[in-house]
Structure 1
Amino acid sequence: MTYDACDRDRKHRIDKMATPGGMMNKKKKDFLGVSAPLGYVPGLGRGATGFTTRSDIGPAREANDISDDRHPAPKKKKKDDDDEEEDLNDNNYDEFAGYGGSLFNTGPYEKDDEEADAIYEAIDKRMDEKRKERREKRFREEIEKYRQERPKIQQQFSDLKRELSEVSEDDWLNIPEVGDARNKHQRNPRADKITPMPDTFLQKHAMSSETMTKLDARQQALGGIATPFPGAMTPGMLTPTGEYDLRKIGEARNTLMDVKLNQVSDSVSGQTVVDPKGYLTDLQSMLPSYAGDVADVKKARLLLKSVRETNPNHPPAWIASARLEEVTGKLQAARNIIMRGSEVCPRSEDVWLEAARLQPGDTAKAVIAQAVRHLPNSVKIWIRASDLESETRTKRKVFRKALEHIPNSVKLWKLAIELEGQEDARILLSRAVECCPSSVELWLALAKLENYDNARKVLNKARENIPTDRKIWITAAKLEEAEGNHTNVDKIIDRALSSLRSNMVEINREQWIKDAEECEQAGSIVTCQSIIRAVIGVGLEDEDRETTWMDDADSSASHHAIECSRAIYAHALTVFPSRKKIWLEAAYFEKNHGSRESLESLLQKAVGHCPKAEVLWLMGAKSKWLAGDVPAARSILALAFQANPNSEEIWLAAVKLESENNEDERARRLLARARNSAPTARVWMKSVKLEWQLDCIDRARQLLDEGVKHYADFSKLWMMRGQIAEQLGEREDARKTYQQGLKKCSHSVPLWLLAARLEEKVGNLTKARALLEKARLSCPQCPDLWLEAVRAESRAGNKNIAQATMARAMQDSPSSGILWAEAIFLEARPQRKTKSVDALKRCEHDPQVLLAVSKLFWSERKISKAREWFNRTVKIEPDLGDAWANFFRFEIQHGNEEQQESVRKRCVEAEPRHGELWCNVSKNIKNWRCKTNEILPMVASTISTVF
């Protein structure tokens, strides 16, 4: 056996032990017990690199040698059990070897031993780290498998627990109580058995209220002393013939109680000590209503008593003491304390108000009367006095008396005026503005009650008394508008700004815009627009005006202040008449919030200032077309041609206008002119599509051949060429067309999908898989390609492969809404809800995920929830036609005609253009003339209600 360098010291010690007398020498050598020099290797000087023992080469004797067992060593004496116990003394403890000592350690623990142990430990640690990842992975897999096989009850009911957040309060209250789960036989084993009652028992109970005046024969035999049956009484007394009459026992108890109450009700002096009728009520009032600790109440009572005695003129101490007694149920003690407080602190308003609150009706009025005598100028006390009165006439008297003492209180004037009629209120207001000339509200209220001439005088007086308030000026402008003097409105607002500036009042732009919105809500449109024109540019830098005004317009529109937004746009267009962006914003605003006439008027002005803006021309032409005025739309497009002779958008808009109105020949001529003057890939595509729609397949193919020569990198031409070949049944030609198109347009996802679907149609699923795999290499991280791969496997019935593909897809595109939506319905029904929660966490506002959740509620027959989620989906993405189609199908199945018509109307207004199911129907050549209201039911009919 060869030892390495790390065990050299151990070998050295074994050699020393093996030498004769090595351990038996009485004389200790100088080198024994001394650590070896650094770098010392035993035997290295004589060429030894190790030694060999018998364990390496076997025993040094032949097989037929006589064994040494003939003279075995004497057996050691068996020790007692007590001797075999370990010595656990602290002196026998070693930090490295423990109590028992090391099995191989016969010398000191040196640096080489420590270094060797450190190396071994490092090697073990390194090997453990290598296996750690695999061990943890295997452990996680086993845990997941175990949890799938044996899920916790908490996991099984997680979806139900989430639904508890949606349970209303009425549903909670209507949950039935837990009854006895045992069956009827276990609850009452004899409930189903009926035992007839003997006549003797009925007769006995019928006579239970009767009495007898003579003894029973058995009692006579016993001398009338013994009571042989329960309930019998001694001789000479009335004995009930049956059991105790409980009703009569109760009556006797009540009679006895009445007697006792009557005895204690009158004292010697004749005064009533106990009220028999209110006795039980007093007992009820003595029940403690405070649920806290009694010791805390005692401490608080002592502390408050100390505060009252230390500083008796401190009103909060008396109020706190009274409220403490009130909380603990001692109302009379609270009243006594607060009344003593009112005597000690007669000038405290709060003490009197608290005393009036604690006292009952008439007593409270008396307390308030005392408070008025001590504090005649307290507004709160006078208001409390009016609150204690129940009649309006008495309240008026109280307020008028209060105004005699406090004529400058605006609050009292307001409360007094509210109780009066219109004429009396006008008289009071005329007096109120004299007493309180600085109150804007009183001046404005008086102006509203006066006629036009008097109102102008009142407002002028108010402006003289309060020159720094803007509301007076705004009210004056509204007054002029109400009289029809619209020209004076702008003058008043301009004078208001100059007057306020002269009085050192800062013009707060946001506050004035808010006032304009309030004016619009009040119906003063001219005043609102005038304020906007006057203050919209206050305090703004020139470079910030455009963005700030657009933000202001959006903010006002969100506050439903339409006229304010319109005024802001109008002012911005006067300052920036050539800005296309502002004209577009104003046009979209009019489209959403205005009328057709206002939109067309705005667009007419817009194209005059921005003739190169194609979208403005197109919006104007579309507005005329939707209104049914086709000649006007043509004239607008003709003017657009003059301003933009080579515009592709205008050419195609003109073609669409003619084709939609069945002017096919005019559309063809326009397209021919467009191919000559403005040849683009879209123009060629529209030309082919028109011929295809008109069923001129040969002409369409001829145009396609020419188009792919000029625009080989335009994928839609290749797609149309392949689709026409599929329509004619020429699948081989379609396959070649798709292959040629993919060579030119390798990044076109729809072209890859058409090629894969063609292979799937002919039954070549393997080829379709290969094409989709190739497509994912050309277009990485494309959710549409992954979705097609998953659906191809699902259509083929390979559910496991579909789920595996979906797992890979989620790793590649973890935030794709269409993949999450598909993954929800790949799961089994119990797991769909959990999957939908995960999808909403990852893609909260994705319309595809919202649509999938809506369909999930639909499948679970949760009608109200499904309708709510459908509404949320179409609100987030109104351009998604699939959402509208599913919503309409849902209303057909679960809604009424009104709800169906509402969905149809909203869909027509939204004009959706996208969605897989929607495009399959809308882009079908057979449906090219169909409108949105016709396409919606066609798409809805293709939707299956089984998910």
Structure 2
Amino acid sequence: MADIFGLRGERYAFLRLAPPPSYVAGAGRGAQGFTTRSDIGPAREQVQEDEGPKEEEYNPDQFQDPENETGLFAGTVYEADDEEADRIYEAVDAKIDERRRARREQREREEAEQLLKDRPTIQSQFADLKRGLADMSEDDWYNLPEVSNMIGNRVKKPRLEGRSYVVPDSVIVGNRDKGALESALAEEQMKDGFQTPADALTDFAEIGQAREKMLSIKLEQAGTDSALGSTNIDPKGYLTGLDSQLLKTSSEIGDIKRARALLQSLTKTNPKHAPGWVAAAWLENVAGKQVAARKIIAEGCEQCPKNEDVWLCASELNTNENAKIILANAVQELPQSVRIWMRAVELEHDVKAKKRVLRKALEYIPASVKLWKETVKLEENPDDARILLARAVEVIPHSQELWLALARLETPERARAVLNKARKAIPTSHEIWIAAGRLQEQEGNVAQVDAIIATGVASLKKNQAELSREQWLAEAERAEQQGSTVTAQAIVKATIHLDVDEEDRQAVWMDDAETMTNKGMIATARAIYAYALNVFPQKQSIWRKAADLEKHHGDRETLLALLNRAVESVPQAEVLWLMAAKESWLSGDVDGARQILSRAFEANPDSEGIWLAAVKLEAENGQIEAAKQLMQRAREVSGTERIWVKSAVFERTHSENAAALQMVKDGLKVYPASAKLHMMQAQLLQAQTPPNLAAAREALAAGVRKCPTSVPLWIMASRLEEQAGVRIKARALLEKARNVNPKSDELWLESVKVEERDGSGAAKPMLARALQTLPASGLLHSYSVWQEPRPTRKTRSVDALKKTNNAPAVIVTVARLFWGERKVEKARDWFGRAVAADGDYGDAWAWWWKFEKQHGTDEHRQLLLEKCIAADPHHGHVWPAIAKDPKNVGKNIKAILDLTADALEA
């Protein structure tokens, strides 16, 4: 053992021994081995041995993760059964994924919602505030405070007031001598005086001549075009062009230099690339170097003589005369280029010269439609233009533009022949058929238009060139815009049924008619309604829409004709009979209206609307006795509740109160639960002399028992008790009414007003309860705005608009607020919004009328009156009471507007 370690002969003999394989010194201590030059020896070329086993190379995929089996079978053959197995496995995976998708998506949504709840974004935190910005008025935007930096206010700044600093003397001396002039003389001037030597005289004339000579030489050198042998620069306008040059910034100059280098490289490496030459030339032109641009594009013409863009660019960069020479060379290379010939025509200023160029072009390109059209345009004589077009259609028989242009220039007889030839030459053109229909319409042969268009649609279908229904409607719209309404209607009749399912026809056609009406295509819409009525003659809704179209866009004769057809097709349609009678009455034909109503009686003997219309017709024309007889006959034949109410109203208007009261009592025997009859009985009893309040109270008490859901009855009973001074009973009645009708804002408002008139201080708590019960009531919110102090009314109105979803009553309140602030235009705008939100709300019209009477002009008032008459309002808080007052029976809209405006409480 001692011998082995060399302990006998020499100490540490093991150092001479060879180390074991893969030995690393210090590995036991955690050291890492390294290799030095001494370990590997001097560099030498390794000779690959042919014999012996080769050392295996390192394969990074040999220790591949078993979960990732990509490439395991890359060396094997992929057979059909392998493909089938992969397809089966993929189907199984897809099926399993489809099963788990719903749960996975639900889990992901829950995780996303939980994440958003735990860590909400800034956008979601301020979402409610952002929504509130949409309802802010202009004044709110104007009143927003300006953004300012408040940090500086918290930092104490040194006080600089009262401090002074010493200014250096150099600054003072420098400012003193800044504008001074040197007045000292040199020593030579002191000695010789002011005499100028003879050899120092300057000849300015010679200097000017030399400068002009040098400038002319430079202009001649720069103006010679080596490629075309022409002058590219106008020496006279050179100096003028210098004045128009714009100074470029350093960044622009750098961009131009980089682009120039790139384009130069492009043109050198690929000299046959025409866009590169064009871009390089335009770059120099933009940089203000027109001479260089012309030289570049001239070289481009040499390199790419078969590209028309290069020649056109060269013509645009040169003067007019040089451009003509360039284009002359271009047509030698490209005689079939229409663009080059058209550019040559543009350069000519004389009409004869233009014609000469165009005819020369047609010799080379006889099949160009554009050239023929330009040639025809230049002809002032229609006969010459006709001859040219005749020749053009011979050369180009498949151009429908030329055929149509020729037909427009011919007489009607010849135009018909031209269109027939065009139809044979181009059987797939729908425009030729439409032009034929328009031609017949212009000649007055309206009956033939439908046949021509129908034949054209069939021919196009035969030649497999049929259009869709939307395309045909667009053609009808275009024909109506050009004034051919009969042709437009013929197109609709022939094509409106295409591509529509049978069950969807009515809905689709009504949408088409509404769309055309909104576009102003009335004839097309009228044709759609006419076709729909032929298919659905029993549809009352279609007749009504067609009648509305005629009422707004037609005349009274067409409307009456349509309504007569309507009542014949749908005799049970009560509304159509009434519309026909009303229009006949408004046209002044009272006898015609009577005849229509008599026919309506035959078709609808039990219709209360027709009976009441007949009564109104006779009463409005002064036939009171006839109206009474009709009313009695209506009670006997029909006898509905509405007829009894109208009978009582008629008696109250045209007879004494006793007869009206008796009529009411008779009606209550038939309809004891009629709220209107109970109210009318109470009103008639109060109108007696002296007023019979006890009987009126009993009548109202019976009414509320029979009709507990009638809000006006409860309010009328409460007001009767309040007038009698029994305010406690009035409160009790209103409270009982609120228990029966808890969602009535009118009852709550009446309760608030009772407390306010009493002065007990309970009005505000009552209003708060009302708003708590009905938070979306526009009537209550409108009233609450006026209970606020003046500074907070605007804020309160904004909140009311949000809570009531822009109720008309609240919009009127906002308009009144602007009115009070003398903001006339804003007030008028908000009144317009109110009537647009609900045209049947009469109080909005009355408030607007009151405003226009104070601040508007005659034009404003007239326009408002026309809008109100068209809207014909019936509802509101004050409007119905004024309109239904017996004193105001028979008054027109203007009178009702005046009375309601006067009755409104400011």
Q: TM-score, normalised by structure 1?
A: 0.67
For the 8 Å contact 1:288–1:329, the answer to whether it is kept is: no
Question: What letter corresponds to residue 358 of structure 2 in structure 1?
Answer: F
User: Paired residue for 1:105?
Assistant: none
Q: Deviations over 1:898-929 (max 9, x none)?
A: 44333333433443323333323211110012
C-alpha distance in 1 between matches for 2:206 and 2:698 = 116
Q: Is 2:457–2:466's contact at 8 Å kept on the other side of the alignment?
A: no
Match of 1:908 in 2: 869
Is 1:745 matched up with 2:707?
yes
Report the AA paired with residue 742 of structure 1: V
- 1:519 positional shift: 2.9
Query: C-alpha separation between the residues in 1 aligned to 2:798 and 2:374?
Result: 56
Against the structure 1 CA distance between its residues 561 and 318, is the aligned structure 2 distance closer, same or farther, given a 3 Å change threshold? Answer: same
Q: 1:781 to 1:395 in 2, by over 3 A?
A: farther
Report the Cα offset of residue 496 of structure 1. 1.4
Structure 2 distance, partners of 1:751, 1:593, is: 43
1:918 aligns with 2:888: no
2:893 aligned partner: 932
* Conserved? CA contact 1:824–1:832, under 8 Å: yes
Does the C-alpha gap of structure 1 residues 235 and 327 become closer, same or farther in structure 2, counting only changes over 3 Å? closer
Indicate the larger mover: 877-886 or 554-563. 877-886
Partner residue in 2 for 1:529? 489
Counterpart mapping for 1:146-545 below 5 A: 159-160=138-139, 162=141, 262=208, 265=211, 271=217, 288-289=247-248, 292=251, 295-421=254-380, 422-545=382-505
Deviation string 1:561-612 (CA, Å, 9 cap, x unpaired) is 3233333333333333333333333333332333222222233333333222
Residue matched to 1:580: 540
Q: Quick one: structure 1 residues 647 and 899, their matched pair in 2 at CA, closer, same or farther if it must change by over 3 Å?
A: same
Q: Match of 1:446, as an amino acid? A: L
CA distance in 2 between counterparts of 1:529 and 1:158 reads 48
* Residues 193-239 of structure 1, C-alpha deviations (whole Å, 9 max, x = no match): xxxxxxxxxxxxxxxxxxxxxxxxxxxxxxxxxxxx98765599999
What stretches of structure 2 of length at least 5 have no aligned partner? 1-124, 145-179, 191-200, 221-233
Instruction: State the SS of the aligned residue for 1:916.
Output: coil
Choose the corresponding residue for 1:663, options 623, 634, 638. 623
Identity %: 47
Aligned partner letter, 2:621:
N
2:815·2:827 contact (CA, 8 Å) conserved in 1?
A: yes
After TM superposition, give the deviation of residue 817 of structure 1 in Å: 4.4
- Counterpart CA distance in 1 for 2:247 and 2:760 is 74
CA distance in 1 between counterparts of 2:811 and 2:216 reads 84
Match of 1:896 in 2: 857
> In 2 relative to 1, CA 270–425 (structure 1 residues): closer, same or farther, beyond 3 Å?
closer
Gap change, CA 1:271 and 1:477, over 3 Å in 2: closer
The alpha carbon displacement at 1:717 in A equals: 1.9
The structure-2 alpha-carbon separation of the partners of 1:794 and 1:419, relative to structure 1 and needing over 3 Å to count, comes to farther
Contact preservation (8 Å) 2:219, 2:235: no
How big is the shift at 1:449? 0.7
Deviation per CA, 1:694-717: give whole Å up to 9, x if none: 352223233333433432332222
In the aligned structure 1, how far is the partner of 2:560 from the partner of 2:783?
44
CA distance in 1, matches of 2:374, 2:141: 52
Preserved CA contact (<8 Å) 1:850 1:869: yes
Structure 1 window deviating more from structure 2 (376-385 vs 702-711): it is 702-711
Q: CA deviation at 1:483?
A: 2.0
Give the superposition deviation at 1:818: 4.2
Q: Superposed, which structure 2 residues align to 1:747-762 within 5 Å?
A: 747-758=709-720, 761=723
Describe the shift of the 1:694–1:389 C-alpha distance in structure 2 as closer, same or farther (beyond 3 A).
Answer: same
CA distance in 1: counterparts of 2:206 and 2:667, whole angstroms? 118
Change (3 A) 1:280 1:394: closer
Q: CA deviation at 1:484?
A: 2.5
* Number of residue pairs matched by the alignment: 714
**Pairing partner for 1:673 from 633, 637, 647:** 633
Q: Which amino acid in structure 1 is aligned with residue 869 of structure 2? A: V
In structure 2, what is the equivalent of residue 3 of structure 1?
Answer: none
Change (3 A) 1:297 1:277: closer
Relative distance call for 1:409 and 1:270 in structure 2 (3 A) is closer
Please tell me the root mean square deviation across aligned C-alpha atoms, in Å.
4.2
Preserved contact between residue 620 and residue 633 of structure 1 (Cα < 8 Å): yes
- Whether 2:741 is the aligned partner of 1:779: answer yes
**Equivalent-residue separation in structure 2 for 1:814 and 1:291 (angstroms):** 67
Tell me, yes or no, if structure 1 residue 691 matches structure 2 residue 691.
no
Spell out the pairing of 1:600-749 with structure 2 (5 A cutoff). Answer: 600-694=560-654, 696-728=656-688, 729-731=691-693, 733-749=695-711
Partner letter of residue 712 of structure 2? P
Q: Distance in 1 between matches of 2:892 and 2:137?
A: 46
User: What is the distance in 2 between the residues matched to 1:357 and 1:164?
Assistant: 57
8 A contact 2:753–2:763 mirrored in 1: no
Structure 2 distance, partners of 1:465, 1:857, is 70
Supply the distance in 2 between the matched residues of 1:764 and 1:371 (Cα, whole angstroms): 108
Work out the CA distance in 1 between the residues paired with 2:781 and 2:890.
35
Residues in 2 aligned to 1:357 and 1:393: alpha-carbon distance in whole angstroms: 22
Structure 1 residue aligned with 2:197? none
- Aligned equivalents of 2:847 and 2:267: distance in 1? 75
CA gap 1:278/1:544 in 2 versus in 1, 3 angstroms: closer
CA contact (8 A) 1:288 1:328 kept: no
**TM-score (norm: length of structure 2):** 0.69
Instruction: Report the secondary structure of 2:878's partner residue.
Output: helix
Work out the CA distance in 2 between the residues paired with 1:873 and 1:420. 60
Shift of 1:805: 5.8
CA–CA separation in structure 2 for the residues paired with 1:282 and 1:563: 59
CA distance in 2, matches of 1:264, 1:833: 83
SS at match of 1:915: coil
Preserved contact between residue 266 and residue 272 of structure 1 (Cα < 8 Å): no
C-alpha distance in structure 2 between counterparts of 1:830 and 1:291, whole Å: 59
Alpha-carbon distance in structure 2 between the residues aligned to 1:762 and 1:840: 38
How much has 1:448 moved relative to structure 2? 0.9
CA-CA distance at 1:854 after TM superposition: 4.3
Distance apart, 1:840 and its partner CA? 5.7
878-887 or 421-430, which deviates more? 878-887
2:507 aligns to what?
Answer: 547
CA-CA distance at 1:349 after TM superposition: 2.2
CA contact (8 A) 1:882 1:915 kept: yes
The 1-side partners of 2:287 and 2:736 are apart by 83
Is 2:843 the partner of 1:882?
Answer: yes
Code of the aligned partner of 1:478: R
Instruction: Supply the AA of the counterpart residue of 1:638.
Output: S
Q: Give the distance between the partners of 1:288 and 1:594, measured in 2 at CA.
A: 65
Q: CA deviation at 1:503?
A: 1.1
